[in-house]
Every structure is written in C-alpha cells, then in structure tokens.
Structure 1
Amino acid sequence: MKFKAHNYQRYAINHVINNEKAGLFLDMGLGKTISTLTAIQELIFLGYVTKVLVVAPKRVAEDTWSTEVEKWDHINLKVSKILGDAKKRIRAINEEADIYVINRENVVWLVDHYRNNWIWDTLVIDELSSFKSSSSKRFRAMKKIRKNFKRIIGLTGTPTPNGLLDLWPQLYIIDGGERLGTTITGYRERYFTPGQRNQNIIYEWKLKEGSEEAIHKKISDICISMKSEDYLDLPKQINNIIKIELPDSIKKQYKQFEKELVLEEENIIASSKAVLCNKLLQLANGAIYKDDGSFKEYHNEKIKALEEIIDISNGKPILVFYNFKSDLERIKSSIKNCKELKDQKDIKLWNEGKIPVLLVHPASAGHGLNLQYGGNIIVWFGLTWSLELYQQANARLHRQGQTNSVIVHHLVSSNTVDEDVLKALENKEVNQNLLLEAVKARIKEFKANEKS
C-alpha cells in the first residue's frame, strides 16, 4: 500500500528526525506507528540509526509493528520479534535486523542479560504510559540502560491518564531528567502540594497554581500532542447509558455490604482502595469472589440486559468488555455463539464478521488492536476505573477505517459504585481516591437517613 502522509503525520515524522529525544503524544488513529517507521527508515538511510529496539505491549509486539512494515510499500525494514521462551528470544536477538520488538514484560530480562553487550542505538517505547510508575521493575531496568541510546522515541495517546504525576517517569526515560528533574521527589516538590494523607503517608498530590502550564512549557520542545478530533473525520461515538435496576433484596445486600466495607477500610492506604472498589464493582456486576477464589452469583440483571442488546441488534456483531473473570464465565455460560478473544486468529475472524459476540478484557485490547472492521457496537458489561484502558478500548472500534457511528452501551447498576465510576470517566478524573470518597459520601447519606 502506498503511504501519502497527512500534514500532521509529516510534522510528526520531522519531529522524530529532528529531535534525538522525542515524545509523540498522538491520539489513537493518527498513525503513530507508521510515522515512526517512516522516520526510522529515513534516519537509517542517513546513517544516524543502525539498530532499533521497540518495547511494546505483548499483542502490539506480536503483530502491529511487523504488520505495519509489511503493509506499506515505502518501508523496507526487517523486524525481529524478541518473544517466546528464553531460547527463542536469544535467537531473535542474534538475527540480523533493523528493528527488534520486545514485549514490556521482558525488559528486565533483556537488561539483565544484555546490559554489557548492548547492540541498539535507538529506543522506541510504544505506549510510553506503561512506564508511568517510577517504582516499577521495568522503569528501573530501563533507567539503567537509557544512556546507551543515542535516540529515544516515546509513543502514547494517554501520557497522563491519572494526572500529571504520571508524566515524570515517562519524561525521565526520554531525556534523563533534563526537563522535569532527576527525581520524582524533586518533581513533586516543585509542582505539587500534599493532599489527602494517612499520618505520614501521602496518597494524593495536588497541582500548585500555574504548575500545569509550567510543566507543558518545560517539555514542549521535545513532545508534541495531537488530538484525533482536530485531524480526523471519524464517525460519531454515541454513548448510551443503560440503567440496571437491581431487585430490592439485592439493593439491600449491596447497601449493607458497601457500608461494612467502607467502615472496615476507612483508614486504608491508597494501594488497598482498588481492592475495595473492585469488590463493589463485582457485586454491581452480579457476582463476587470468595476467599477460596471461587465466586458467588447474586444477580443476573446485567446478563439479561446484554441479551436484550444482542436481540435488538439484529445480528450485528457486538464487542463486549468485561472486567472480572467471573463475568466472563457467566457470560459464556449464558450467551450463545460468543467467543473470548485469545489470539490473532480471533481478530481476523472478528474483522471478517464471523464472531457474533466477542468478549474482551480491556487490558488485553488497550493498545494496537484493529477491530474496527468487524462491527460498531460496544457493550461495557463491567466498567473499569482506569481511564486509560477505557479510552483505548473504545478506540478499538472508533478509529480510522470505521465507516459507521460507534455505539457504546454502558451497563450501569443504579445506586452502586458503577455510577461513580461512570461519572469519573466522563470527567476524566478516575482514581481510587475519588471512588472511595464517593462511596464514603453514600455511607454518610445512609447514616443521616438512619438518624432522621
């Protein structure tokens, strides 16, 4: 296929060529991969680049980069995939290639085994936001060898899914701390003030006045940001909220369970709040895990709602995002002709219109999957409190190549944490603290009603 770069893609290509440290914060569908490949090919031709290491989510590493290379006529690069068991990874590294693609889970292994025999002069991190935690093993491993690269390119559409604190580790990988400082502590002290805390433990940081503008200015020379709505003529995304009314007996159980959990965990640290939120989300979906790993079903109201959507869709393929394995098992046992996404064969069958209902966990479909050719209907059976996963998952259908309006159904159990998650998603402010505060507010209301 011939590639005719849009003006915004040419701008991105030139940005990579002209900056040894570059961040492309481009929305889904704007062509981050092909723009980067085009820039790399030009840089190899000019002699500025020899071997490129691409770090990507597993599915992207398996398919996206090699597929893009094969797709475009002007790209003449060889890709080696550092995937599979250790022997296969070593064999792939020993192959002669231009681009070596590895999944992010194996970054620590790569650094441990090849730190003193580094062959790559250019680094591309596809979905840079997966390095947003400065305490993660993959970040610490990358920090050890970032100086070995002459060029570093960071790609993402969501650099700050949970706020600007996420930005420091990502920028450190790109520029070694030149713009935002060499430590996360210094970054926080310069641009943030402590918010909620539990004694000496601070688990919320608030931006100081003027900090957002200052941070953006600091990184503006090496990072460019583009939104799809500014450049693409995409079909509309229609968001539909389907309220699920739970039976009275379940409402009573939910309220009691909600109250007990919040009172029990009122002083927990931030990392445990996800556990609390997930328990409430499980119950809103219809089942909750027990200590032994099994689950107990409390209601099937969302299953019924999903069946109704399938019925009125008149045979159109439906992409269903589930949150918990218990939901997956319950859907598979109730819905005929549904299939769980497992491999590239399933992607091909979906895009050919041969899978009526495709069940996908948003974490496995967040990046790099092109599903827009198989349908235009999404159902969120269970919501996620990760804004990044939510946006990326919807973009599997709402992207270039989609010819119909994308309908996104949200199954929301009334008067449950579902409503709080949805509100937070709409406000683009999703985090555990926000959800816990929303739940606490419900309990305060509950107590007030009891007194009156």
Structure 2
Amino acid sequence: MKVSPEQPFQIIYSLFSHEFLGLLFESFVVQLDEKGRLSFAHQNISSINAREFSSGLDDTDYKLIKWMDEMQQENVVKNFNTKKLKPKEFLRKIYDPKTGNRAIQEVIELKLEGLRAKILEKLTGKRFFEMGNDGNPIWREIEIMPDKASVLFHFRRNEENTHYFPTIKYGADKLEWQYKNAYLICHEPAWLVVDYMLYNFKKGVDGNKLKPFLNKKFIVIPKKVEEQYYKKFVTQLVASFDVYAVGFDIKVERSEPQAILSLSDLPSSPKTDLFGHAVEEEEDDKIVFDLHFQYGPYVFRSENRQDNNVELEKIGDNYTFYKVVRRPEEEKNFGDFLKNLGLPVKLGRFSMEKSKAFGWINTHREALEERQISIQQALNQKGKRYFIGSAQISVEIKENIDWFDVYAIIKFGPYEIPFHKLRKLLLQGKSEFELPNGELAVIPNSWFVNYSEMFAFMEEQEEEQHTANLVLKKHHLALAQELQQGNLLQLTLSRKLEKLRDFSQIEDYDLPATFKGKLRPYQKAGYNWLRFLNEYRFGGCLADDMGLGKTVQTLAMLAYEKEANPDATSLLVMPTSLIYNWELEAKKFTPKLKILTYTGTQRIKDNRRFAKYDLVLTSYGITRMDVDILKDFYFNYVILDESQAIKNPGSIISKAVNELNCRQRLILTGTPVENGTMDLWSQMNFINKGLLGTQGMFKKQFLQPIEKKNDMDKAAKLHAMIKPFILRRLKTQVATDLPEKVINVKYSTMTPEQEKAYEEVKGYYREKIVNEMTIPGLRNQQFTLLRGLTQLRQIANHPRLTDKSYKGDSGKLEDVIHMLEATASEGHKVLVFSQFVRHLGIVREYLDEQGIKYAYLDGATKDRQGQVREFQENQEMKIFLISLKAGGVGLNLTKAEYVFLLDPWWNPAVEAQAIDRAHRIGQENKVMIYKFITHNTVEEKIMALQERKMALAGELISTEESFMKSLSKDDIEALLI
C-alpha cells in the first residue's frame, strides 16, 4: 500500500527472520492516521526512494536505510552469485546442509554481524518493531533501553565440580532473562531482547557468553577439566568482566602506574670516527629504550595494551587469580610525553645511536625526574653496566699572545675525566670509556655536535713540564664566539679583539698621506677592516660586488704598508688581463709605490730584484711556472685577485700559491663560491691555513652535510667561522654611498694569436695611409683611415669579426664572459652594447652553448618591446644584448644595474645615450658602467683622443665625419703606432 509523503508519516525499523541469513532489519514508512497513530498503510523505503520522504528523515535515518539495503538478500549474494541465479535459489544452494559452501557462509555472516552492530548502535531514539509472520512491519514494538546493562559472572566451586552462570542487572535491578524466550539479535557485541525490551551491555560482552544460559540455569565444569578450563576461559573472563567467585580467590591490584625506561644494547653497523672514516670497534652501536609500566609488584611492557592482565596461580588444590587493573589513559600520557621529548616508545621498543641515547637522557634528565619516570638498565649478555648519571662539560677559553688557551672540566657523576683523553676519544669517533667503578660512560652526542669542530681544530703544545696544553689558533675566534653565544663555553678576550665580534666597532684608521684619492664611506670601512686584520695578522677575503672598488681599497692598504714597512715587498697575483688595470690604478692612487711588473717572456728570473720594489705584479700563469723562484722570497703580503682561480684545491696553481712565503695573505673576488662549498675551503685555507681544518675534515664536517643533507646548522657554523675574514658588500647594500652612475674602464690583454692578427692589419694600413698622406690633393685618405681603424677595432674585439676562419681566442671576449657570469651569478641585470652585430653574435653563441637566458635586440629585431618586457619582468633573464645603433634610443631598461660597452665609440655622446637606457627616471639602482678596452690597440688610443678632443670642443664633435676631420697628422700617426 502506497504511503503519501504529502500526508503525515513516520519511518520505522523492523526485525524479521530470514530462512538462511538469520535476523535482518528492514526500513519502512508508515502513514499516520488522523490521531497521529501508525496505520496499516506502509511501504518499504530504500536508498532509491528515500528522498521522497526527506521531510521525515534525518542523517541517521539515511545511514540506517543504506545499511539495511546492504543486508537484503539480493545485495548480500551479488558478489558471490557468478551464475546469476535468483538470490533465494543461490542461498538455498549455499546453505544446503549437505552440499553447502561453508566458506561463503562465514563471509556472509561476518558481513551481516558487522551491519547488525552498526545498525543497533544507531537505533536509539527510533521506533523498532518485530515483523509479523504476515509481513506486518509493526506487529510488535521493541523498546530500546537507554542505558547499558551489566553482567556478573558467577563461579561456585565445590569438591566435585564448579557451577558457572551469569546474572544481569539493569540499573539497580536484577533482570530475569532466563526461560523468557529471550533472544540475541547480535553477538559481537551482545544485544539481547527480553520481554520486548532491547538491552546492550557495559564492557562489550560477547553474546556467546550469554547464549548457553537463555534456557539453562548454569553450566557444570567437571573436576577433571577444572584446571584447563580455569586457565583458558576463566582467566579471560576475570580480565574483561566482573566475576564473583566462591571456592577460589580473585585478588585485584589497582595502583597508579610507575613508568620505567629500560635500556639494553642493540648491535648495529660499523662505527665511524668524527670525520666519517670506518673505525674498528667492538662496542655495540645502539641502545634500545623499552617502556614498561609497574603496578605494585607487576610490570608490563607498554605495547601490551590490555586494559587488565590476569595470572592464575595454583598452590595445592587452591586457585588464585591475580588481576591488575591498568590505566590505559595514564599510560598513553606517559607515551605522549616521551614522544614529545623525541622518544616515540609508546608502541614498544625504540632504538637510538648510543651517543644520542645518552645525550637524550642527559638533556631530559630533569623532565624525566619531574614526571617520575625512572631509568633502569637490563643486564645484557655481555654484562655491560652503563653510567646513567649526570654528565657535565664546561669549557673556558682565554686569549694568549698568539693563540687561545683551552681549559675544560669533564665530569661523569663524581668522576672528573682529563680533557685530552676525552678529546682523543671524540676525534677517533669513540663514544664510551670505562670509569673507575667499572661502569661504561657514554659521551653524549650533543658534545659531538657542539664541540666537534673546536676539538678538531685544537692543537697540543708541549710545555716545559711535558704536559699537553691545548690551544686554538686565533683565527678560530668566531667559532669560540659562537660557542660562547650558545652558553657552551666561557670566553675571555682583550677589549681590542672583542671588537671583531661587531664589524661596526672596528677602529677608524687614517688613510696614508701617499694615497691620492678619496674613498667612499663603504670603501673607507673596507680599508679599516683590512688594517684591523693586518694588526692581528689575520688573512682576509675582500669579496665586494663587482665595481665597488676592491682595487682602490687594497691600494690604500698597500700605501699604508709602504709607510709602516718601507723595506717590505708585496706580491699581487692576478689573471694576465688585469695587470694593466692594476698598473693604471696604482699610478693614479698610489704614485709613490715602486712597482715591478713580473710578466712576459723577457722577464728577469731573479728574485733578488724584488727587494727594490714595494709591489710585484704577476699572473697566475707566471706564478705556476716560476713558483720555485717566487717561494724563495719572503713577501710582506701575497694578494690574489680574482681568487676563484684557486677554487680547486687540487689544481697546480692552487698548490703553487700555497707554497709562497709571506707575513700575511689577502684575496680579492666578487664570487668566492662559484661551484660548491669546496671553493670556499681552498680560498679560506690560503688566507688562514687550518681555519677550516684539513680538506678531508672539511668534507666530512661541512661540505657533505651542507651540500648533500642541506644541514642548515652546519651551514650556520661555517658562516660564523668565516664571517670575520670575509667582507662582502652588495651593490644594493652600499647604494647610498654610490654616485648615480659609476664608470669603470676594463682593460683586456690580447691573446698571442689575436695580437699577431692585429699587428698584420695595423702594419698594412699604417704604410698605406702614411703613403697617401704624402700625395697632395688625395681626398680618399679619410675613407682609408676609417676602414683601417674599423678593422683594427674589430680585431681588438675578436679577429673573427674580420676573418671568419680565425680559430683562436680573444682576450676581451674572455673578460666579457667572465664578468657576465659574475654579475648574473650575483643576481644583477646587465645591458651589453656593441657597435658590431657580429660581435654580439659571438657573445650570443657562447650564451646559447651554456644555456644562459638572454634578451636580444638589433636592427633586424621585430618585437622590440617584447624583448624589453621580457628583460624587465623576467627575474631569470639577467642579460640583454643590444646593438648600439638599434638600442641607443627609445628604450627604457630601468631593471639593469650594469652596462657593458664592448667597444669604444668615436663620439662619447653616443655611448652616453646607451648608458641612459638604464640610467634614467624610474631607475632605483645605482648603475655601474664598464667600458671594455683592449690594451695596446687603437681602442686605447681612441679613448685618449676622446678625452682630449672633448675637453677642447665640448659636444661639437657629434659625427664620425666631424671626428675624422678633427684628426691631425700627428693624431693619425699616434693611432697607428
């Protein structure tokens, strides 16, 4: 009979017995009459039509309907009924007493029992009925009792047997349930219907423990099986439920749990020393923590999660059950507490490296004591006994004249251990040693973590009494200061050395009178820093951004050295292409310095000459070849410019410069780290030998943890150690100290092949032009001169501009590429201008080979604005190659911080236009301009002419023609010398 959802209705749930599947539930909607009573009008409701009656359903109803759908026979059999039999026919076959499939029956029953348990749990507050034999879903209503009943199991033991039976109480009343036609709807957990009332039970009673007593008063346990029955069955009942016994004892322990951490050895992998090298060691490598809980005299492992534990004891003919009522919530709290301390043992055993384990105990000792968690040691097979008391280390460092003296006190409980003994153990990677009482003390891992670098860098000095005195070199000051900041040692410093902690407190030193020039504020600060390092004989790395004046700061310091040590000679090693730049800068800023340029095939290989000069300039190549000559002279300073040249510690040049003898060392570089952390070690080891330990030690201590494990703590330690000896200012940091634009000239040296090509063309045009100048009235000499000068300028850039078959290199290209990579790696954007599109093409070819992104613009470029937008907005694009004529006007490139002019222009006004592409309104950065000039070529001479002509004519010279006309015979001859 159809039920109208428009009229009052109610959802009800009905219980019926299926021929094969047992007790099942079904959902119905029943129409209500005018008095609100259930009528005979009803219909089945399922997930298919439930939405029609949504006005009378809640979320629980939808769940119940879904679960009841799942237990209908057609849904129960569909996964097994492969032959597509009718559900009833399939079930008849499966449940046939003789030929039925017991395995499928068990799977079905397991599923149905699970559904019954879920449904019954949600039926509270719903109307529930037994279905009549005629299919009436509301035949007899079953009341669902709101509270849970309790079961008490009784045992009465006498001389012949034991009687066993359960009683049920609901609230304070005893429930009469036997011989009442009571039945179980669900067994796990038990749901029992008695007199049309539905009960469920505290402690999740299993219905199978009640079922035998529905129509039986008690079960008799014969004497002969008594002991076996007590062990297997009664112990489980006593553990889980309330039991009343006569004839045997049940003793219950209800004390608070006492947490115990038990320690034992766990053999592990081979041991390594402080630097990761394998060490032959018989010690076990790991400690196992095992969490136990003690209740009175009983101890349980934490992973044994039973709420109650029962043990049976039989003495003579008497039985005693010992029941321990555990407190799982409190046990969980202990487990959570230990997990928060870094020891996740609540699920059982947890192993940890031995040194870390005792470090953990030492670190958290107070917290453990506060929570009354005791630490006990289980005797293992070897019989080792570990010291688990307090371990303490205190280190004090005091400044001496040339080093730091190290004093340390090590205590394990009442025992004080000599510091040098502990240091040797740490360096060997050993973590344990025997105390006078026979216990094994284990060095906490925190000592390895906190002090391993310092212990590794210490040196032993034999004193007169032949006792070892431990010292630390002064250049390890930063390491000591970092440990002091972490409250890991006491550090006593002189007031002067204390200033090195904060760079801003360094004394302000006067510039030498012989220094001709003015230093910007940040350059003066750099000079002060160099003087400070000089005073303490520390080596240093001046690593300012390109263009910030590393050269001028160094020259100021060298000028001071000439005043302070007039008889001393310093050595400056650099790439060949920089020698001329240094000569020019030295003449400009320090004209009093006597300089020897020790280069070329005609150099005089006699180091006695060096003493006559204040400064010797040489190249890395010459140093490599003449190391035997150079190392036999004791220099004041050895300074390396572009020191990334020695980034590979295994290279010949790196080994060569380390052989040089001097009082002090300094390196200059804009890119101290190009490829990896080892670059840093090589350069730091040059300036302050031993600062970062040996190469092998550095790999284990820093390189591998930083590069392979991304260990930020190690990176921070490394940074702290080198910080006092590296001064690096970025252009953005000193922007307020810079003028709006800074113009630098970068001189390049031609390669031998390039020089040969240049001289051939220069010789040809010099003869041709000089001859033409002697012929009166010949007017094409200006054209010849322009063509010749253009070819010479092109060869000064790269001979491939005039000769496509040229296979050699170009000195200028090498310099341009080096500086492009340096600026880009520092995160700066750079504009690269050239008059010659083919020159840009050569640079472009290199960038393509290296996979470096760039923007490009020449006269043939169609999407000019697209290239500009890409350069301005794309953070990854650092380089913009621009043809001077195509890009000289109409571009706004305010993101650029550097401008490279690859070839000098006749008219400086045209160069200025190019510079103004970057240096214009909207530019927030200071702009660094680099003019690349090839030494000993027409480029250098044009630049000199520019300065002279501009001084005379202002900006009147504005074209190539007017520039050519302004050239005198002497000017032309000077260009072609």
The TM tier, using the shorter chain, reads 0.5 to 0.7
- SS of the aligned residue for 1:230 comes to coil
Offset of 1:81 from its aligned partner?
0.8
| CA contact 1:93–1:100 (8 Å) conserved in 2 | no
Q: What are the residue-to-residue correspondences of 1:45-64 with 2, within 5 Å? A: 45-47=563-565, 50-61=568-579, 63-64=580-581
| CA contact 1:132–1:166 (8 Å) conserved in 2 | yes
**Given the superposition, is the C-alpha separation of residues 364 and 7 from structure 1 closer, same or farther in structure 2, using an over 3 Å criterion?**
closer
Offset of 1:53 from its aligned partner?
0.3
Offset of 1:209 from its aligned partner?
2.8
Find 1:24's aligned residue among 539, 542, 547.
Answer: 542
Give, in whole Å, the separation in 2 of the partners of 1:7 and 1:363: 28
**Given the superposition, is the C-alpha separation of residues 360 and 10 from structure 1 closer, same or farther in structure 2, using an over 3 Å criterion?**
closer
Q: What are the residue-to-residue correspondences of 1:232-271 with 2, within 5 Å? A: 232=735
Find 2:699's aligned residue among 176, 185, 188.
Answer: 188
**Given the superposition, is the C-alpha separation of residues 360 and 70 from structure 1 closer, same or farther in structure 2, using an over 3 Å criterion?**
closer
| CA contact 1:122–1:149 (8 Å) conserved in 2 | yes
Offset of 1:342 from its aligned partner?
5.2
Find 1:128's aligned residue among 629, 634, 643.
Answer: 643
Give, in whole Å, the separation in 2 of the partners of 1:235 and 1:184: 44
Offset of 1:114 from its aligned partner?
3.9
Aligned to 2:675: 162
**Given the superposition, is the C-alpha separation of residues 342 and 70 from structure 1 closer, same or farther in structure 2, using an over 3 Å criterion?**
farther
Offset of 1:361 from its aligned partner?
6.2
- SS of the aligned residue for 1:90 comes to coil
What RMSD in Å do the two structures reach over aligned CA positions?
Answer: 4.4
Describe the superposition over 1:224-246 as per-residue Cα deviations: whole angstroms up to 9, x where unpaired. Answer: 1111122245879xxxxxxxxxx
Aligned to 1:7: 521
| CA contact 1:235–1:398 (8 Å) conserved in 2 | no
Give, in whole Å, the separation in 2 of the partners of 1:155 and 1:46: 22
Give, in whole Å, the separation in 2 of the partners of 1:359 and 1:102: 19
Amino acid at match of 1:82: Y
Offset of 1:219 from its aligned partner?
0.8
Give, in whole Å, the separation in 2 of the partners of 1:386 and 1:153: 34
Q: What are the residue-to-residue correspondences of 1:20-99 with 2, within 5 Å? A: 20=537, 21-47=539-565, 50-61=568-579, 63-72=580-589, 75-85=591-601, 87-90=602-605, 94=609, 96-99=612-615
- SS of the aligned residue for 2:519 comes to coil
Give, in whole Å, the separation in 2 of the partners of 1:120 and 1:386: 43
Compare the two structures and name the one with the higher helix fraction. Answer: 1
Aligned to 1:172: 685
Give, in whole Å, the separation in 2 of the partners of 1:363 and 1:103: 16
- SS of the aligned residue for 2:715 comes to helix
Amino acid at match of 1:164: T
Normalising by structure 2, what TM-score? 0.26
- SS of the aligned residue for 1:138 comes to helix
Offset of 1:366 from its aligned partner?
7.8
Describe the superposition over 1:253-312 as per-residue Cα deviations: whole angstroms up to 9, x where unpaired. Answer: xxxxxxxxxxxxxxxxxxxxxxxxxxxxxxxxxxxxxxxxxxxxxxxxxxxxxxxxxxxx
| CA contact 2:572–2:617 (8 Å) conserved in 1 | yes
Amino acid at match of 1:362: I
| CA contact 1:376–1:406 (8 Å) conserved in 2 | no
Offset of 1:35 from its aligned partner?
0.5
Amino acid at match of 2:526: A
| CA contact 1:104–1:138 (8 Å) conserved in 2 | yes
Q: Is 1:141 aligned with 2:656?
A: yes
| CA contact 2:574–2:641 (8 Å) conserved in 1 | yes
- SS of the aligned residue for 2:622 comes to helix
Describe the superposition over 1:37-74 as per-residue Cα deviations: whole angstroms up to 9, x where unpaired. Answer: 1011112212287111001001112x0111001122x5
Offset of 1:136 from its aligned partner?
0.2
| CA contact 1:191–1:207 (8 Å) conserved in 2 | no
Amino acid at match of 2:833: I
| CA contact 1:55–1:126 (8 Å) conserved in 2 | yes
| CA contact 2:833–2:899 (8 Å) conserved in 1 | no
Find 2:720's aligned residue among 204, 210, 217.
Answer: 217
| CA contact 1:80–1:97 (8 Å) conserved in 2 | yes
Aligned to 2:16: none
Greater relative contact order (Cα < 8 A, sep 6+): 1
| CA contact 1:192–1:206 (8 Å) conserved in 2 | no
- SS of the aligned residue for 1:171 comes to helix
Aligned to 2:733: 230
Q: What are the ranges of 5 or more consecutive residues in structure 1 without an aligned counterpart?
A: 196-203, 237-317, 335-339, 348-357, 368-374, 408-452
Give, in whole Å, the separation in 2 of the partners of 1:386 and 1:25: 27
Give, in whole Å, the separation in 2 of the partners of 1:38 and 1:26: 16
Give, in whole Å, the separation in 1 of the partners of 2:653 and 2:821: 19
Amino acid at match of 1:377: F
| CA contact 2:607–2:633 (8 Å) conserved in 1 | no
| CA contact 2:640–2:666 (8 Å) conserved in 1 | yes
**Given the superposition, is the C-alpha separation of residues 52 and 108 from structure 1 closer, same or farther in structure 2, using an over 3 Å criterion?**
same
**Given the superposition, is the C-alpha separation of residues 398 and 220 from structure 1 closer, same or farther in structure 2, using an over 3 Å criterion?**
farther
Find 2:916's aligned residue among 404, 412, 418.
Answer: 404
- SS of the aligned residue for 1:76 comes to coil
Describe the superposition over 1:98-153 as per-residue Cα deviations: whole angstroms up to 9, x where unpaired. Answer: 110110012222222343x31422111001111100110011122223xx211111
Offset of 1:220 from its aligned partner?
1.1
- SS of the aligned residue for 1:193 comes to helix
Compare the two structures and name the one with the higher strand fraction. Answer: 2
| CA contact 1:28–1:395 (8 Å) conserved in 2 | no
Aligned to 2:319: none
Describe the superposition over 1:338-381 as per-residue Cα deviations: whole angstroms up to 9, x where unpaired. Answer: xx9957xxx8xxxxxxxxxx8976259989xxxxxxx9526441
Identity rate, percent: 21
Aligned length: 280
| CA contact 1:40–1:49 (8 Å) conserved in 2 | no
Amino acid at match of 1:59: S
**Given the superposition, is the C-alpha separation of residues 35 and 364 from structure 1 closer, same or farther in structure 2, using an over 3 Å criterion?**
closer
Give, in whole Å, the separation in 1 of the partners of 2:588 and 2:794: 26
Q: What are the ranges of 5 or more consecutive residues in structure 2 without an aligned counterpart?
A: 1-514, 742-792, 823-830, 835-839, 853-876, 882-896, 903-911, 920-977
| CA contact 2:567–2:614 (8 Å) conserved in 1 | no
Describe the superposition over 1:426-447 as per-residue Cα deviations: whole angstroms up to 9, x where unpaired. Answer: xxxxxxxxxxxxxxxxxxxxxx
Q: Is 1:362 aligned with 2:817?
A: yes
Give, in whole Å, the separation in 2 of the partners of 1:118 and 1:136: 22
Give, in whole Å, the separation in 2 of the partners of 1:125 and 1:391: 28
